[in-house]
Amino acid sequence: MSIYGDYIKSVIRTVPDWPQPGVNFRDITPLLQNSAAFRKLVDSFVHRYQEMDIDAVAAIDARGFIVGAPLAYELGCSFVPVRKKGKLPFRTISETYTLEYGEAEVELHSDAFREGDRILVVDDLIATGGTMLAAAKLITRSGGQVVETATIVDLPDLGGAQRIREAGYSVFAVCS
Per CB under 6 A, which region of 18-26, 30-38, 101-109, 166-174 contacts ligand ADE? 18-26
Backbone φ, ψ for residue 82 (5° rounding): -100, 110
- When asked if residue 149 is in the footprint of ligand PRP (CB under 6 A), the reply is no
CA distances from 58 to 63, 64, 118 (A): 12, 9, 10
Q: Which member of 68, 70, 130, 144 binds ligand PRP (CB under 6 A)?
A: 130
Q: Are 56 and 113 in contact (CB under 8 A)?
A: yes
Binding mask 64-103 for ligand PRP (x = CB under 6 A): ----------------------------------------
Name which of 162, 130, 138, 152 is nearest 71 in CA terms.
Answer: 152
SS3 state of residue 156: helix
- When asked if residue 52 is in the footprint of ligand PRP (CB under 6 A), the reply is no
- When asked if residue 23 is in the footprint of ligand PRP (CB under 6 A), the reply is no
Residues binding ligand ADE (CB under 6 A): 23-26, 125, 127
